[in-house]
Amino acid sequence: MSRRKRALITGITGQDGSYLAEFLLDQGYEVVGMVRRTSTVNFDRIQHIQDKLTLVAGDLMDEVSLMAILKEHRPQEVYNLAAQSFVKTSWTQPVFTGEVTALGVTRVLDAIRMVDPEIRFYQASSSEMFGKVQQVPQTERTPYYPRSPYGVAKVYGHWITVNYRESYDLFACSGILFNHESPRRGLEFVTHKVTYHVAKIKLGLADRLPLGNLEAQRDWGYAPDYVRAMWLMLQEDHPDDYVVATGETHSVRRLCEVAFGSVGLNWEDYVYVNPDDLRPAEVDLLVGDASKARRELGWAPTVTFEQMIQMMVEADLEALRSQRQPMRL
Ligand code: NAP
Ligand code: GDD
């Protein structure tokens, strides 16, 4: 039997899954990644480490597949990162979002309870749960007021994690992560939408950028910093919940200023408000207080907002110049 620790990541093909897989491999883990069966392979974000991973087919909609994976691969840690994660889509696919993002968590927890209750579990909870914020800044004790079907589903996922911890004594942690970005961020999210358009405009490949609410404020951090926090939670003596955030907030307008400014352009010459990019209900302001994670996990962010946006613009310029798809590597 191998003595290396083994971790299972659901959502390994996503932004966070790819960074977490790299991080765990660096820590000496064997990494098992659950992937959905798709008609076209979408391993772009993990292509560079694919030969070091064990990829297995499964789906959060299908508990049988989850149990089979746990039985066969016997991980000591499970990171549940899979979700329908785009807030806007959750209004057009609310039931599907609930099935995957909410009930999917119960399916994983139940599979753990039945196959191996010693497994340590991480749930990808979200600052979107704070929604119409009841306190500024938001902490682990701030009440939730979700403003989207996605936010509602994440509140369910959070509480079922707490409930299984309390009901069955599982080592189940919930990381309440604020927005985190990177060059691997999906193109539909606002940071990458902006940096990709900045790169296209700079190279003469586009001339306008449609956006929704320019006044929304987010606490944007750097994804590789955030996956480290996930791992730290599972190394503690006791399971708990932690806010992970930078403590700084910026508006979408400021994001545009920084991104366009980084290549010497004035954002107001290109950006216009497109009503289709507005949401039925908005989360106006998120800013997290991560003192508990700093104190108990020794966690701190290492990359500033401005550095991260600059990095994303440069990666998009590079990708466009070499005619690669921008969002992946
Ligand atoms: P992402 O890039 O959208 O990745 C989502 C992953 O979930 C993908 O690998 C996707 O697989 C997988 N997935 C979707 N539905 C599935 C299903 N039914 N069964 C199995 N896998 C499924 O998201 P991310 O930004 O990495 O975020 C990771 C997690 O953290 C998500 O749960 C998200 O809600 C949460 N979160 C993210 C942030 C953030 O700012 N990034 C903040 C707080 C919480 P495919 O590749 O096949 O689509
Ligand atoms: N996507 C997008 N596109 N957002 C826009 C646009 C646009 O054209 N224009 C303005 N925005 C605003 C949105 O209305 C929102 O207030 C803000 O920009 C951020 O939107 P997203 O980047 O789509 O992220 P999000 O905050 O809704 O959700 C992300 O963060 C959550 C954590 O708080 C996702 O990663 C979620 O999965 C995550 O849980």
State pLDDT tens for residues 49-87: 999 999 999 999 999 999 999 999 999 999 999 999 999
Report which ligand 2 atom has the smallest distance to the Cα of 279.
14
| 87 CA to centre of ligand 2 in angstroms | 7
Whether the CB of 157 sits within 6 Å of ligand 1: no
- pLDDT (mean) for 23-31: 98
The catalytically annotated residue of 19, 150, 156, 164 is: 150
CB atoms within 10 A of CB 325: 10
Residue 150 falls in the annotated catalytic set: yes
Whether the CB of 68 sits within 6 Å of ligand 1: no
Cα separation, 125 vs 222, in Å, equals: 17
Cα separation, 91 vs 126, in Å, equals: 17
% of the chain beyond a pLDDT of 90: 97
Residue nearest to atom 8 of ligand 2 (CA): 211
Q: What are phi and psi of 211, to 5 degrees?
A: -135, 170
**Which band of pLDDT confidence, cut at 50, 70 and 90, is reported for residue 244?**
very high
Residue nearest to atom 7 of ligand 1 (CA): 82
- pLDDT value at position 2? 58
Q: What are phi and psi of 75, to 5 degrees?
A: -70, 155
**Residue pair 133/142 in contact by the 8 Å Cβ criterion:** yes
Quote the strand ranges of 167-230, DSSP E.
Answer: 171-177, 180-181, 209-211, 217-218, 221-222
| 190 CA to centre of ligand 2 in angstroms | 6
Q: What are phi and psi of 204, to 5 degrees?
A: 75, 20
Residue nearest to atom 22 of ligand 1 (CA): 82
All structural domains of the chain: 6-180+220-244 (3.40.50.720), 187-219+249-284+304-321 (3.90.25.10)
Q: In this structure, what DSSP letter does residue 308 have? A: H
CA atoms within 13 A on the CB side of 100: 19
**Which band of pLDDT confidence, cut at 50, 70 and 90, is reported for residue 326?**
low
- pLDDT value at position 323? 83
| 182 CA to centre of ligand 2 in angstroms | 14
Instruction: Choose among 169, 143, 167, 164: nearest CA to 155.
Output: 143
Q: In this structure, what DSSP letter does residue 94 have? A: H
Whether the CB of 128 sits within 6 Å of ligand 2: yes
- pLDDT value at position 16? 99
Alpha-carbon distances of 138 from 134, 245, 292, rounded to whole Å:
8, 10, 12
- pLDDT (mean) for 248-257: 98
- pLDDT value at position 68? 98
Q: What is the pLDDT of residues 80-133, one digit of tens each?
A: 999 999 999 999 999 999 999 999 999 999 999 999 999 999 999 999 999 999
Q: What are phi and psi of 73, to 5 degrees?
A: -105, -15
| 160 CA to centre of ligand 1 in angstroms | 18
CB atoms within 10 A of CB 34: 26
Whether the CB of 59 sits within 6 Å of ligand 1: yes
Whether the CB of 180 sits within 6 Å of ligand 1: yes
Q: How far apart are the first and last CA of the chain?
A: 34
Query: pLDDT at residue 329 above 60?
Result: no
Rounded to two decimals, what is the model's pTM?
0.98
Residue nearest to atom 4 of ligand 1 (CA): 14
Report which ligand 1 atom has the smallest distance to the Cα of 150.
34
Query: pLDDT at residue 28 above 70?
Result: yes
Question: What is the average pLDDT value for the chain, to the nearest integer?
Answer: 97
Residue 164 falls in the annotated catalytic set: no
Residue nearest to atom 20 of ligand 1 (CA): 59
Name residue 172's beta-bridge partners: 121
> 287 Cβ partners below 8 Å, 6+ apart?
136, 137, 138, 178, 217, 219, 245, 247, 248, 249
Residue 39 falls in the annotated catalytic set: no
Beta-strand pair 171-177/217-218: unpaired
The best mutation among 12, 19, 85 to test binding of ligand 1, ranked by most ligand atoms within 8 Å of the C-beta, falls on 85
The catalytically annotated residue of 30, 63, 128, 181 is: 128
Query: pLDDT at residue 328 above 80?
Result: no
**Which band of pLDDT confidence, cut at 50, 70 and 90, is reported for residue 3?**
confident
- pLDDT (mean) for 174-193: 98
- pLDDT (mean) for 208-227: 98
Residue nearest to atom 37 of ligand 2 (CA): 85
Whether the CB of 194 sits within 6 Å of ligand 1: no
CB atoms within 10 A of CB 320: 17
Query: pLDDT at residue 327 above 60?
Result: no
